[in-house]
Amino acid sequence: MTKPALRTDADFDAFYERNWKYIYRLCFTFMKCEADAEDCTEDVFVKVLTGNTTFTDQTHERKWLTVTAINLCKDRLKSYARKNVGSIDDEMTPDIAAPEQEDYSHVKDAVMALPPDHKDVIWLYYYVGCSTDEIARMLGRPSSTIRNRLKNARNKLKTLLEGGDMK
């Protein structure tokens, strides 16, 4: 049994408050620009409002939002205008900061330097917490392909973190 779609303003407000910071951080990780991350975040929530999406639970909700945000960011990065026009905000950091923790930004930077197929599986597996079977369903690929990509991505990530070349 699925939950009904977000029917009232209060439902959407609760949904938005529960998810917007996570989606913004995810979009900023891909876009590296505050304005572009905000645009992508807004587009994700517009898709929810204008679509006929229903969620079975908050885990399903988070996974759907993650895949949607990643796809929107990748599409925007592929666009001709994005490739040829930089942003004045490229070096800015988001207003939303993670709680003080040990600095592992070099790991995130290495993940973001991976090829898209590898970056996606690493992100979904380690940062979102999806299983390889869940990732396979989300990306429409066989589970064995996802496991192979994950293995290859780990090897490339290890090489990057050790200061080597990915080739």
At 100, the pLDDT band (50, 70, 90 cuts) reads low
Q: Judge whether residue 51 has pLDDT over 80.
A: yes
- Quickly name the fold that domain 101-167 has: Arc Repressor Mutant, subunit A (1.10.10)
Give the per-residue pLDDT at 58: 86
Domain boundary assignment for the chain: 1-97, 101-167
pLDDT at 97 over 80: no
Confidence of residue 6 (pLDDT cuts 50, 70, 90): low
The contacts of residue 116 (CB under 8 Å, 6+ apart) are: 74
- Please name the residue ranges forming H helices in 51-167: 58-78, 80-84, 105-112, 116-122, 132-139, 143-161
Q: How far is CA 9 from the centre of its chain?
A: 26
pTM of this prediction exceeds 0.75: no
1-97 CATH choice from 1.20.120, 3.40.630, 1.10.1740, 1.10.510: 1.10.1740
